[in-house]
Amino acid sequence: MVYTLCHKDIQVLEFKMEDDEVSDVISILDEKHLPVGTFKDFEKGVSKKQQFRSWWRSRAIPASRQNLRDALEMLGNITTEQLAAKSFGLSLSDKYWAKPVDSPLTWKDVNFFENDFSDDVGKALFGTLDIADISSLSLLSPDNTSDGWLKKKWIMDNGERVLLKGGSGTEQQEPFNEAIASEICRRLKVSHVEYSVAEHDGRYYSACKDFITGDTELVSAWHIKNALPRGKNESEYAHFLRCCEAVGIKNMESIKKQLCQMFTVDCIIANSDRHFNNFGFVRDAATLDWQGLAPVFDSGTSLFHDVSAYDLKNTTEYISKNASSKPFAKRHLEQLEKLQCKEYCSDLRFESLSGISAWAENLLNKNRHLSEKKDILCKILEDRVRKTENAIFGTA
């Protein structure tokens, strides 16, 4: 079957699908509105079909998602690619979608920013779908294109699109980390997505409103870094900045500052997973004008969420010192130095973080699974605030 990829109501390209797989790119209709970084002329030996297939696949739920196999079985032994197609590939992060080439549907008819959506897929992903509801199942959901490995789903709350995301292991620490990161950003006046912690059926979840509106969209740093080939002796960071300029992002000094602010927060919380799909840029979907770096989001894989209390207690200094970072250096302090964050973050008011460990302790006390780990985490947090401040200001 032939489909039209649309950007809102702008027809971008026509492609063919066979057995839930992109089998051909027939024609490009509007080059200006193509997804950023999808077609790379410099990628020798890789066809447009292969490049677009990779982009389309990236819209499906990743195979690493918690509870995915059981959810797909409950939904009728469907594949993640079929799920994406069932909801036209629609997302609550951007304005791309696909429809049969002869379909009269418009963006206003189908988009999830203006229209309600089913919570059946979300229930299946959370393991709460009632088997009695199978006969009336609806697969029209933004959950079909949500990324990441943690359990998550979109809900409607008083007209707001809200994302619920779970934690991992027995401690379920990630939702609490999101809230701590939010509080640190708020105190430092760093643009961020506001997270809170919710509890349901004995499980903890982070909750945040969609920061993308009906007029804007998120473009991940991953797609931007694919705009140009990396030079032979070019650093990852220099290449990334060059790619930003190549796609039309302006005010690069402001962008460098925003990046440094985000990585400074990451240093404080020992974020180990700020990969290129965990930050990005916001642009106007109609004019394609860039609005700047997206607010800080997705900071749950931090504060040694996957390290036991025993290991933290006995090797605290070693673990904290060797906490890994991404994407421009393997260690946080090294990353701050590489990006010249000392220059760009000199106006951050670290005194506003006074008492942050007590604030975090109060929050972590609500997690009954953490036990003694919470006390260790609060001490580590206090120490990392001091060491990050020292890296920025050179204070004792």
> How confident is the model over 45-82, as pLDDT tens digits?
789 999 999 999 999 999 999 989 999 998 988 999 99
> Among 392, 307, 297, 377, which Cα is nearest to 347's?
392
Residue 155 CA to residue 162 CA, distance in Å, equals 5
The whole-number pLDDT of residue 395 equals 58
Largest CA-CA distance found in the chain, in angstroms, rounded: 68
Degrees, nearest 5: CA angle 323-327-333: 45
* Contact partners, residue 203, CB within 8 Å, separation at least 6: 166, 167, 172
Q: What is the 3-class SS of the chain, one letter each residue?
A: CEEEEEECCEEEEEEEEECCEEEEEEEECCHHHCCCCCCCCCCCCCCHHHHHHHHHHCCCCCCCCCCHHHHHHHCCCCCHHHHHHHCCCCCCCCCEEEEECCCCCCHHHHCCCCCCCCCHHHHHHHCCCCHHHHHHCCCCCHHHHCCCCCCEEEEEECCEEEEEEECCCCCCCHHHHHHHHHHHHHHHCCCECCCEEEEECCEEEEEEECCCCCCEEEEEHHHHHCCCCCCCCCCHHHHHHHHHHHCCCCCHHHHHHHHHHHHHHHHHHCCCCCCCCCCEEEEECCCCCEEEECCECCCCCCCCCCCCHHHHHHCHHHHHHCCECCCCCCEHHHHHHHCCHHHHCCCCCHHHHCCHHHHHHHHHCCCCCCCCHHHHHHHHHHHHHHHHHHHHHCCC
> Among 319, 343, 324, which Cα is nearest to 335's?
324
**Cα–chain-centroid distance for residue 40?**
23
| pTM (predicted TM-score) | 0.94
Cα–Cα distances (Å) from 4 to 13, 96, 113, 120, 288, in that order, read 6, 10, 20, 27, 20
Going from N- to C-terminal start, the domains of the chain cover 2-157, 216-393
Cα–Cα distances (Å) from 89 to 26, 117, 144, in that order, read 18, 13, 8
CB 162 within 8 A of CB 146: no
> How confident is the model over 316-359, as pLDDT tens digits?
777 878 899 999 999 999 999 999 999 999 999 999 999 999 99
Q: Mean pLDDT, to the nearest integer, of 149-157?
A: 94
Residue 263 CA to residue 274 CA, distance in Å, equals 9
Write out the two tokens for 171: 């401690």
Identify residue 19 by its one-letter amino acid code.
Answer: D
> How confident is the model over 240-299, as pLDDT tens digits?
999 999 999 999 999 999 999 999 999 999 999 999 999 999 999 999 999 999 999 999
The whole-number pLDDT of residue 284 equals 98
Q: What are phi and psi of 105, to 5 degrees?
A: -60, 145
Buried b or exposed e, range 87-101, using 16+ CB within 10 angstroms: bbbbbbbbbbbbbee
Q: Report the CATH architecture of 216-393.
A: Orthogonal Bundle (1.10)
The whole-number pLDDT of residue 384 equals 96
Identify residue 296 by its one-letter amino acid code.
Answer: V
Has residue 396 got a pLDDT over 50?
A: no
Has residue 102 got a pLDDT over 60?
A: yes
The whole-number pLDDT of residue 32 equals 96
Give the sign of the dihedral formed by CA 53, CA 241, CA 30, CA 47: negative
Write out the two tokens for 58: 């990236």
Q: What are phi and psi of 338, to 5 degrees?
A: -60, -40
CB 182 within 8 A of CB 155: no
Token pair 């051909």 is at which residue? 24
CB 251 within 8 A of CB 328: no
Confidence bin at 42 (pLDDT 50/70/90): confident
> How confident is the model over 114-143, as pLDDT tens digits?
999 999 999 999 988 887 666 688 999 999
Confidence bin at 394 (pLDDT 50/70/90): confident
